Structure 1
Amino acid sequence: MQTHEIRRRFLDHFVRAGHAEVPSASLVLDDPNLLFVNAGMVPFKPYFLGQETPEHATATSIQKCVRTLDIEEVGITTRHNTFFQMAGNFSFGDYFKEGAIRHAWSLLTSSVDDGGFGIDPGLLWVTVYLDDDEAYGIWRDVVGVPEGRIQRRGMADNYWSMGVPGPCGPCSEIFYDRGPAYGVEGGPEADEDRYIEIWNLVFMQNERGEGTGKDAFEILGPLPKQSIDTGMGIERVAFLLQGVENVYETDLLRPVIDTAERLSGTRYGVDSASDVRFRVIADHARTAYMLISDGVTPGNEGRGYILRRLLRRIVRSVRLLGATGDTMAEFMATVKEAIGPSFPETIAGYERIERIAVAEEIAFLKTLESGTQLFERAAEEARESGAATLSGRQAFALHDTHGFPIDLTLEMAAEAGLQVDEAGFRSLMSEQRARAKADSRSKKHAHADLSVYRDFLDAGETVFTGFTELTDESTLLGIVSGGESVSVAREGDTVEFVLDRTPFYAESGGQLGDRGLISTAGFQMQVDDVQKIGKKLWIHKGVLTGGEVEAGQLVTAAVDPEWRKGATQGHSATHLVHAALRQILGPEAVQAGSLNKPGYMRFDFNWSGSIPADVLAQVEEITNAAVDADYGVNTIETSLDEARRMGAMALFGENYGSLVRVVEIGGPFSMELCGGTHVASSAQIGPVSLLGEASVGSGIRRVEAYVGMDAYRHQARERALVSGLATSLKAPAEELPDRVAALTAKLREAEKALESMRAAQLASRAGDLLSAAEDLDGIRLLAHDDPGGSAGDLRTLASDLKGRLGADAGVIFLTAAGSDKVPFVIAVSPAAQERGLRAGDLVKAIAPTLGARGGGKPDMAQGAGTDPSGIDAAVSALRSAVRDAG
């Protein structure tokens, strides 16, 4: 049965039963809790919560879904997809458990001729939540499923929520038995590769709060109405009904595998490692296609990052299979043909889908080969040194230089038997983001209503005299306050002044606007910023710090000379750094942005890879050599054509006028078109201290530097730091790297030794604790509280104690009381299980005393409570439960 028919049969079944057919929502919804729609019920969330009134009491849909938490399972298991189609039926206060169960069973087991899927009822198993006796009874007494094929499971398996605050409830799942060839007997509890979940019936009756995982969250209370949310996995039913081995070999995904075979020359079904790559390609190609269709584009954060990760995993996987040429266009075309009949709207937007996917492949291919070589060198160095971990700096270099998502580095490291210092990587990423945001400024007039300045613009442009003057007499043409033109400004007012002429430089070309004063004998204004409007009107922004002024008065405009000096040093240093980079890297290193202010410069340029430290050191040396050479700085006004004949660089694709300004430093050393202010000679710049370089976007690098006295102060701090370390470590400065490396190695060894001691201590305690167990009619009960212990320690200790019981019947109850939480573990030995004790049942017995919830398997269960004072009562309840069973 083809997938498109499975979809149609599902919808027809529920439409006949009176449900309204609802189209799928976009994968991207305006929900701050979700990156993507991850379940069929998400579009109906307001109905379940009672926030909106549904148009229909019952509904059915085939919802597009994406889940990325299981991305590492893709290709390995038989059942995990990132994109999948969730067929669902919904009741908003209409029918409840029995209705949902009857509808599902009817569709699954009715004959094909009658519109069903024709599945043999004898192959179906069901699970219910631990204490859901009602659902258990319906399956057994109404539907007729034998008790042996109904299993009770804990919260992690049979209590459903979206993973975030919202509606939730116990659920009942339906599983298909693929037969003994696929695993052991015993139902879903024993083997979920043999027993495949195909439908989840969620009895929406509660609202959950914050929490983590599938079972560590608070139940806030009941929903306004008891409702139904079910989800049948289209892909899972398809692979079972089509008689293939997994979800990747169905009619919707197998064509992508066939395309990958053709492009790579490798056959599917021959090698297990290659098969995983084929399945990753098939799954990710379809997911990427659907994400792009719903408006997602590749990026470095959020949804864009997920898409980029998927596309790059495809590229890497098909290369590992042997493909050498471009492949993405063929994969997207294959997906379109396969999924188009179900989602015809994607065909209309196909050109965009293909264009975005292909562009990402091209971008990644440029760096994949060199990045892989860098990784292999780093991995080999780690092995030779005996290390088992790649450093955070190495992972960051792969990301920063070669565009490797950290997930790809983790994946490659796992394949190489290595770990990655993720904490170190995250720290470096945080530093990069901080640098990228540093000193960014909002252009306040970018989207403002500029009508208030219209008369000033029409009257003519501001005359800028700041190239030769720092003080000038001007006429105050107008005052703007609160977005309106006013005639008078008084002390304390935040205002904008429009002058007929000004020595103040307005922010442009990366150079910040000047600071200074505008004043007369009767008032004073502190200028904090200067901006241009329409490229010809200067707006001076600031606060009146004294007096009162009226429009039309004569004023004195005076630039702060120290500010201007620092700004010109920073701007001229930027030209020198640009020239030095081009000397070392070549003409491709072209400016892409800059920021200059007193004591600091930031310079962005086009370059596809990171700049090694030794190369950056050369750039710094060439820059400072130019400073030391005391080159003259000349400005020339000429035609654009003449400037180009002179060799001046025109930047940013600007629209230059017929007359341009060329800034020349040291003749041929640096010659650029520039409207900024500059020093008179390069020696006035002072020292330039490069701080480092980083990526700020695809193909864009950034260098930062301190300039002048700020560079001197930075170097002085660095010297003091090195001197302090040398004194503390009693080593010469040149030996510090080796000494720090040795200390780091010792620290790691000490941490490993501490971990070994901790494990040994837990093991040594086990024997003493077990001797204190009480005997309850032949069943040994050990209850022990370890204040401040971790849940992991409890699990480890419980496993050890259970093993030490050997053939004895015993129950272990361990708690770790804190100020407000009580993690706990219950372990039951095999002999105690034979006497009817189950860890999950014992959790239910103690839960009320601790204000707890939890669950698990018969041999071990765990959870957490909120009432540490209830531990003694919990032990008493456990003692009673053990006696009752014994």
Structure 2
Amino acid sequence: METAEIRRRWLRYFSTRGHTVVPSSSLLYDDPTLLFVNAGMVPMKPYMLGQETPPFQRATSVQKCVRTLDIDEVGKTTRHGTFFQMNGNFSFGDYFKETAIELAWELVTRPQSDGGFGLPEDKIWVTVLDGDDEAAAIWRRVAELPDERIVRRGLADNYWNMGVPGPGGPCSELYIDRGPEFGPEGGPAVDEDRYMEFWNLVFMQDELSAVRSKTDFDIAGELPSKNIDTGMGLERMATVLQGVDNLYEIDEVFPVLERVEQLTGRRYGDNRDDDVRMRVIADHVRSGLMLIGDGVTPSNEARGYVLRRLLRRVVRAVRLLGTQEPTLLDLVTVSKDRMKTSYPELEENFARISQIVQAEEETFGRTLAAGTTILDVAVRDAKAAGSPQLAGDKAFALHDTYGFPIDLTLEMAGEQGLSVDEAGFRRLMQEQRDRAKADAKAKKHGHADTSVYRALREPGPTEFTGYRELSTDSTVRGLIADGAPVESADKGATVQLVLERTPFYAESGGQIADEGEITADGARLRVLDVQRPIKGLIVHTVEVVEGSLRSGADVLASVDREWRLSACQAHSGTHVVHAALRQVLGPSALQSGSYNRPGYLRLDFAWPSALDPSTREEVESVANLALRYDYPVTASYMPLGKARELGALALFGETYDEEVRVVEMGGVWSRELCGGTHVEHTSQVGAVTLTSESSVGAGVRRVEAFVGLDALRYLGRERALVSQLSETLKVRPEELPERVNAMVVRLREAEKELERARRAQMLSGAQSLAGSPADIQGVSVVTHAVDDSAGDVPADDLRALALDVRGRLGDARPSVVAVAGVAKSRPLVVVATNDEARRRGVKAGELVREAAGVLGGGGGGKDDVAQGGGTQPARIDEALRRIEAVVGERVSAG
């Protein structure tokens, strides 16, 4: 049974039993405690924590998940994976243990011909919490399981909590016996490879007041409303129903592995190291595909760093399998073809995905080249210090700073006769993980800090009136200072303020928060920031400028009118520029992020290369034509499904409710899901002036623009600059480009002529240098420091001089030429040797390393010509003397 069919059966089964089918949330779920959605229950967490009232009593979903803590273990075992899908069914105050068990048992044992999964009843084992006699009794009654297949386990295995105060409860896990070929008999407590867990039923019945660890917590009492949260691993069920050994061999993963075999000529199963690399590729390709599909782009921080690391591990693994050609897009295409049945948006967005994948592989190719150079220097330094080992901190820096994989460092260091301090590297990696875990834990426990917001949210959501008015009479629902509720705030204090109703827009969707004032009897407060710390609650950060304010007071909340107008211009301008980009470049130029403040906008979009000036001009022209056409700007609410049918664009990574707000400009010309504030007609944006276009990551470009009065001011400054240049150069404005280009050409020609003259002057001394070499044990040696009084001495000039002098010395006797100079305040040295010198054991690369060591740097090259540098130009003469000494040492040793 294909994985997509397992998914369909799951949703159909629970849908016909009264469950609302909830679409998978984006992997970039809006939760400050998570980098990615890492469990199927994450989108349901607000309901479990009591932050929101669930809109349904029963729900089911197949949620996309990514777990990143075990990236380094992926492939080494067949149990670790990065991307996975979690099937879940949930009950909020509806059914509980008995119905949950009945539903699970019926689905997994019902014949496949009747819509079930058809697992053999005599191969299923279950576990319950030791002491949960109720669950054990239900299993005996519903499934007629014998006692020996109902295993009782402790809190570590069979109790669930979120790690913070809140809901918790015992759980019951379902296992399938895969047979003696997978391990010894005896049940899950003996061997969890043979007895593979595939479904966990969590019975949330307790209210936890404190959680110190997974097994150490305090139960305050029973939850007023008992809930069910279950999770079945889709990949694990596919493993069972497809009769394969592990998740890498199921239908959604194995085709990538097969394609790797075709590309590399290696066979899966022939070699353990190759198998690990193939599994890494198969897992990471799918994970990368799904992350890009949800709007992640490669970068050097947070989510983008995880994606970059996944993709680069794929590229490196392919190269270690013997293929140097670009293969990433080929492999991602195979994965897309397998995943698109369940996620058709991957096919729709594949042009954008392809651009990002190709750009990242090209970028990594350059990184490998740069990292190789850095590694060579580190290896040389280690050898110079007499160490047989590359330090762990060097390997870690290569990995962490430059993205250079540790396995590549090991291989390349080994080629040069050095081992690597792997223990030191692993220690530093572990310290980094520990810091990340500590940070994640701190963020996780931040849930406890939201209790004050949850209490203020209980009476209902904050009513936002800002779409229709800028001033609203309201009442203070609560005040917060230093994370705790307070009754009042006096002059000079900065506090958080929650109102019953507010016209202030809370920062979201790229639009920054409104500014303005809140006034009451004798009090005036300046609004500094507005946020939504939990869904449905708008919180104002305010400074009490005059008087004092008490909780429960009546107030007037007023948004700064000019601020809002300029903010609306910028936000509407963002939609206009997005639509113009798509009209000019095509539908794959999708927005991947934005930021706007009054008068300014910034928009990131998927595109593989820089926009040329004519394209930028066309985008700007299309945008301003839309303003001239004065399109009406309308907003309407509709179900998410209908909005998608209409073609409304959703921002990558955003999470949307089932009821969404659709903002249209000129109908179909621009139609996006958006909660921000906007002008009423496009003409009110005023003007759009693009000011820059740049790269922000592989396959992602950024445009910046001014709108409204800020756009006119920008154009005014540009006009003044043109006027000033025209007056200075005595030409008309339209003649400026030609005049400036002509000046640049003349300047470059003059610089070239000066360079030629300077080089000729320097080389003119080659004859005299060749005429008076020093004799060091039968070797003709010329050392010379070039006078840098005329300025920097390019390395190419030094190289030309060294080769010229070497040529004049001839091949009759061994000769060595070393010349040095200073470029940009840094010393450079070039050494050239002839055949006779090399036969005597004198090599240019070794001499350069010796000299560079004196100069406080490094270098290298071939035996005949090499160059290096350093940081201490005052030691050039000393470096040249060191070369002479080493020549004597090498000849004597020979």
**TM-score bracket for the superposition, by shorter chain length:** 0.3 to 0.5
Q: TM-score, normalised by structure 2?
A: 0.47
Q: TM-score, normalised by structure 1?
A: 0.47
